[in-house]
Chains A and B, each alone.
Chain A
Amino acid sequence: MTIIHNRPLDDIAETAPTIAGNAFTRAFSGGSLWRLIGMLVLILILGFLTIYPLAMLLYGSLHSTPPGMAGEFNLNGYRSIMTTQNLIVLANTIGISLAKTIPSLTIAVFLAWIVARTDTPFRGTLEVLITLPFFIPPILTAMAWGMLANPQVGVINMVWRWATGATDPLVNIYSYGGVIWHMCQYSIPFLFLFMVDAFRAMDPSLEESSRMCGASRWTTFRKITLLLMLPVLTSSFMLSFIKGIETFESALFFGLPAGIKVITTDIYESINHRATPDYQYATSLSFAIMGLMFLLVIWQWWMLRGKSFQTVTGKGFRPSVMELGPWRWVTFAFCVLFFFITVVLPIGQLMLGSFFRFFGFYTYDMLTLEHYRAVFANSEFWRAVRNTMVLGLLGATATMALGAIVAYISVRTRWRGRNLVDSMAWLPWMMPGMVLGVGFLWAFAMLPGPIPIYGTIWALLLAYIALGTPVSVRVMTGAYHQLSYDLEECSRVHGASWFQTMWRIMVALAWPAFAVGWVLTFFGIMRELSASILLYSVGSETLAVVLMKLWANGNAEQVSVIGLMMMLLVIVFRWVQLSFIKSRISKL
């Protein structure tokens, strides 16, 4: 018997606690004091990036004048938004957003499944191609669709009339359908990108076991695949739904002529098209919406509470795909059809148009390369490219790093305050971009004089990080939810510190998601205008600002040239990333 009953461990020479490692490793591996400090630093960073600008906006919503002007605190802003008119507009907005989110999610899930889990031919190429529309500035696709599907002379309707002899148009883009369709063009590729790696990373044995239990392919897909994807799916739904409520270009372009009003056009109008910009109204309305959307976030927490979604276990997944037999040509046809409608039609239009003097006038004598020459000879353009590249590379990397840390803490630790950081990271997503831009302007300009952020490139960088964090956190949360704890603990036990584990195991395993998040963030930065236009300074123009100037001056063709070049960049990025994944993850 060697049980020692309540006897002190006399034979153990207690060594003085030697604390090794630097402050950082201690912060996350050692005592709770260091963890507390680490958490506090993180909360401070997020607070500065998200709470601070929002606090300025909150002040704006409660104060009769914007920050910096004499006025008084009142609730006029909130009182003025309480109108029946606004209620109808809100219902309309929610309806439109739901009407685009549900089909988008369905199609995106289907596409992700086809690309990641079936043996559909050319799925590698399709994966890159079907995401392209997401990366084109919305005004360009709006223009392209305006040309394709206007009821009078739209190409689709002309073909329809010619083929059938009908006099009525087949489609009218200036309608609810048009608004929703244009939004879908962005949300389907976005959701697809967001989800595809989650599908890819899933252990097929989970599906196979369901099949063994007698479930059909369809039941398996519904009950197992979808359920295991619940964190990713609910996140996707919320990101897409909330973005749908905030989307602006589609409604302005296609909704306005049809008399369709949404919340954001109302906000836009209150800032840009009133005698005096009514910031109190705009911010109050935004906060009211934000409150509603926060309920959704709480709903998601509630949905996912206490469930495990670990599909990547240490038993090693075999990323095998489902053999569809002849059906793979059906799925292939579906992808090709999707590609044709959402990519070839609009982008083909842009590409064609970029070689003619004017969009839509395709005659021999209008053929020209002048738009390309004009863009390449534009020194301002090149400077903006340089600025945007620097901001994009730095911003996307910083955003993803921050997102990875926040997601890690919220998903994989039990630390106090983890829900706080998670919700802080959500905030920027719930504020319409044009209002948040103003929030950043107020926040950075009102900093005490010696903090030189406003008017420098750092202001843009910080705003981009804040704007990108919600997506980066969501992407990484989805990825972390799938990794089993063993993989991480095993690394710790075998001598790796918290940071080494993060880097060598967690980041390495979540790398596909990280890369996708990076690309999403990078192009988010490239497209961002609302905050950029308020924060850029002389010499730090971004590409979005240059595009806006060209568009405002009626150089739509030059804008498309740039849009096409952005698309080319996407293809390069995605190709590098996907072939990299191939060489690392799926060596099979």
Chain B
Amino acid sequence: MASVTLENVSRMYGAVTAVDNVNLKIKSGEFVTLLGPSGCGKTTTLRMVAGLEKNTGGRIAIGDNVVSDSEKGYFVPSERRRLGMVFQSYAIWPHMTVFDNVAYPLRIRRRPDKEINDRVMNALRLVEMEQYAERPSPALSGGQQQRVAIARALVFEPEVLLLDEPLSNLDARLRTQMGDDFRALQQRLKITALYVTHDQAEAMALSDRVVVMHGGKILQVGAPEEIYRRPENRQVAAFFGTPNLLNATVKDCRPNGGQYYKLSVEGQGWSGDCHAATEMPKGADVTVMVRPENLHVRDAGQVNGDLSWAGEVSQAIFRGSHRSIMVKTPAQTLHVEASSLSHVDIGRPVTVAAPVEAAWAVRN
């Protein structure tokens, strides 16, 4: 397994920049996810690594080998990059059996029959599809096709495994299950994987690191939890779930002894403490992010947290696993995820509170 390095990689379509100066290094055996809304350049980036598209700027290396250098006009075509790839549509060739599909990368490389047979059956066993080997591929269900696609991508032990939204065509339950299975497989085999998705939950659950992209640029790279809890800017913050984003002004800033800084901020009708990644000058405008699941609804006037807002309940929706409560405060309406057992009446005055660790400030 090899690392993947992207250095100043860009892709222009005429005057339109699809990928803009992307730098990224994926370590050997690491699972990295490119995450972003559609049109953010994540698929283009993946396709450039695959060699299905040529980068118009920068260079790409797989392991110790540069595979594409736009300045030198050097380009290694896909077939010589030793990759495995799972397509969104699975790209299962309908004229072949399951076995033939999986055996294809080996047959192309003219391996002996014995070896082909062993490795294909091994790969199929990995994805628990060995009993379907002789099936014509159109006769498979979506989940089965996906397994075949993974087996095909792994069968010749590629340098890197590329996955382009492989789970998006599956139904919700199957998606979670396949995702977990795949993560387990990846960790067992120590495969370097580059994964593209627009589904944050998928990205969280599978990745060692997540790369958030927007408008062709990388916004942030980091472990899922870090990105989720400590986004670098408002866009990243907004991308995960439906966080409450509050405008505020910095009153005071001091190191909190650890990695971060502790801020005192003041917003419209509220004030309190929160954390930030960088030092901020007094009077700077910031956005404070508080995730709905970290907010608590208490009776009016009851303040024992680090941050609190007074308001009244404007809406409550039962969602099974939790209850979405909208609280109207002078600053803005806050979204709170409360236990589904809690009972709230519309119009009741309440206080919404959050611990200081749950509030994260980013520069506007």
A/B: CB atoms within 8 Å of each other: yes
Residues of A within 8 A of B (CB): 1-6, 8-9, 12-15, 17, 20, 29-31, 312-319, 484, 486-487, 489-498, 500, 504-505, 508-509, 511, 584-585, 587-588
- Chain B 207-223 interface 0/1 with A at a Cβ cutoff of 8 Å (1 = within): 00100000000100110
The answer to whether the Cβ of B75 comes within 8 Å of any Cβ in the partner chain is yes
User: Cα distance A505–B7 when bound, in Å?
Assistant: 33
A12 touching B61 by the CB < 8 A rule?
A: yes
Residues of B within 8 A of A508 (CB): 93, 95
Q: Point out the residues of chain B lying under 8 angstroms from A29, CB to CB.
A: 77, 79
Given A12-B66, A30-B75, are A496 and B104 also a contact pair (CB < 8 Å)?
yes
- Closest Cβ of chain B to A513, distance in Å, is 13
B87 touches A494 (CB 8 A): no
Residue of A with least CB distance to B82: A495
Binding site for A on B (CB under 8 A): 5, 7-8, 23-25, 27, 50-52, 59, 61, 64-66, 73-85, 87-95, 104-105, 108-109, 136-140, 142, 145, 152-153, 156, 162, 169, 209, 218, 221-222
| Contact B87 A495, beta carbon cutoff 8 Å | no
Q: Are B139 and A318 in contact (CB under 8 A)?
A: yes
Cβ–Cβ contact A9 & B77, under 8 A = no
B221 CB, min distance to chain A CBs, angstroms: 5
CA of A486 to CA of B89 in the docked complex: distance in angstroms? 7
A319: B residues at CB distance < 8 A: 138
Q: Which B residues touch A30, using CB under 8 A?
A: 75, 77
Residues of B within 8 A of A317 (CB): 94, 138
Tell me if A494 and B104 are in contact (CB < 8 A): yes
| One of B65, B85, B140, B221 near A1 (C-beta < 8 A) | B221
Say yes or no: B91 contacts A489, CB within 8 Å: yes
A contact residues around B93 at 8 Å (CB): 314, 487, 490-491, 505, 508-509
Q: Are B221 and A487 in contact (CB-based, < 8 A)? A: no
Identify the closest chain B residue to A11 (Cβ).
Answer: B5
Residues in A with CB closer than 8 Å to B84 are 493-494
> Which A residues lie within 8 Å of B23 (CB)?
3-6
- Chain A nearest Cβ from B162, distance in angstroms: 7
Q: How far is the CA of A585 from the CA of B64 in the complex (A)?
A: 42
How near does chain B come to A317, taking the closest CB pair, in angstroms? 6
Once bound together, how far apart are the Cα atoms of A489 and B88, in whole Å?
Answer: 12
A493 to B162, Cβ gap below 8 A?
yes
Given contacts A489-B78, A493-B79, contact A313 B89 (CB under 8 A): yes
Q: Which residues of A contact B105 (CB under 8 A)?
A: 494-495
Most buried by B among A312, A313, A484, A584: A313
Name A314's contact: one of B5, B89, B209 (CB within 8 Å): B89
Q: CA of A318 to CA of B135 in the docked complex: distance in angstroms?
A: 13
In the bound assembly, the distance between CA atoms of A505 and B66 in angstroms comes to 28
Chain B residues in 8 Å Cβ range of A584:
95
Contact across chains for A500 and B108 when beta carbons are under 8 A apart:
yes
Do B108 and A316 have beta carbons less than 8 Å apart? no
Write the chain A residue with the least CB distance to B59: A9
B259 → chain A, closest Cβ, in Å?
12
Q: Is the CB of A4 within 8 A of B25?
A: yes
Minimal beta-carbon separation of A331 from chain B (angstroms): 25
Question: Do A493 and B83 touch (CB < 8 A)?
Answer: yes
Q: Give the shortest distance, in Å, between B231 (CB) and chain A (any CB).
A: 14
Chain B residues near A504 (CB-CB < 8 A): 104, 108
Contacts of B65 in A (CB 8 A): 12, 14-15
Complex contacts, B95 vs chain A, CB 8 Å:
508-509, 511, 584-585
Write the chain A residue with the least CB distance to B77.
A29
Closest-CB distance, B90 to chain A (whole angstroms): 5
CB-based contact A490/B87 at 8 Å: yes
Minimum CB distance partner of A17 in chain B:
B74
Tell me the smallest distance from the CB of B155 to a CB of chain A, in Å: 9
Structural contact, B92 and A316, CB atoms closer than 8 A:
yes
Contact, CB under 8 Å: A316 / B24: no
Residue of B51, B66, B80 ringed by the most chain A CB atoms within 10 A: B80
**Minimum C-beta distance from A225 to chain B (A):** 19
Complex Cα gap A487–B7 (Å): 29
* A544: min CB distance to chain B, Å: 36
Could you jot down 16 A-B contacts, CB within 8 Å?
Answer: A2-B25, A9-B7, A12-B61, A12-B64, A20-B80, A30-B75, A316-B92, A316-B145, A486-B90, A489-B50, A492-B52, A494-B105, A496-B79, A500-B108, A505-B93, A585-B95
**How many angstroms from the CA of A490 to the CA of B95 in the assembled complex?**
14
CA distance A313 to B138 in the complex (A): 11
Cβ contacts under 8 Å, A316 to chain B: 90, 92, 94, 137-140, 145
> Closest CB of chain A to B3's CB: distance in Å?
9
Would A2 and B27 count as touching, CB distance under 8 A?
yes
Contact in complex: B104, A314 (CB < 8 Å):
no
CA distance A17 to B69 in the complex (A): 11
- Given that A3-B24, A17-B74, A29-B79 are known contacts, is A588 also in contact with B136, CB under 8 Å in the complex? yes
Closest residue of chain A to B135, judged by CB? Answer: A587
Asked if B61 and A9 make an inter-chain contact with CB atoms under 8 angstroms apart, the answer reads: yes
Q: Determine which residue in B23, B25, B83, B91 has the highest number of CB atoms from chain A within 10 A of its CB, and name it.
A: B91
A17 to B80, CA, bound (A): 12
Contact call B8/A6, Cβ cutoff below 8 A: yes
Find chain B residues with CB under 8 A from A505 CB: 93
B263 CB to nearest A CB, Å: 22
For A318, the chain B residues whose CB sits under 8 A away are: 138-139
Closest CB of chain B to A314's CB: distance in Å? 3
In the assembled complex, the Cα of A29 lies from the Cα of B79 at a distance in Å of 9
B139 cross-chain contacts in A, Cβ below 8 A? 316, 318, 587-588
A210 to B89, CA, bound (A): 20
Expressed in whole angstroms, the minimum distance between the Cβ of B301 and any Cβ of chain A is 43
Task: Kindly state the separation between the CA atoms of A5 and B218 in the bound complex, as whole angstroms.
Answer: 11
Q: Do the beta carbons of A315 and B142 come within 8 Å of each other? A: yes
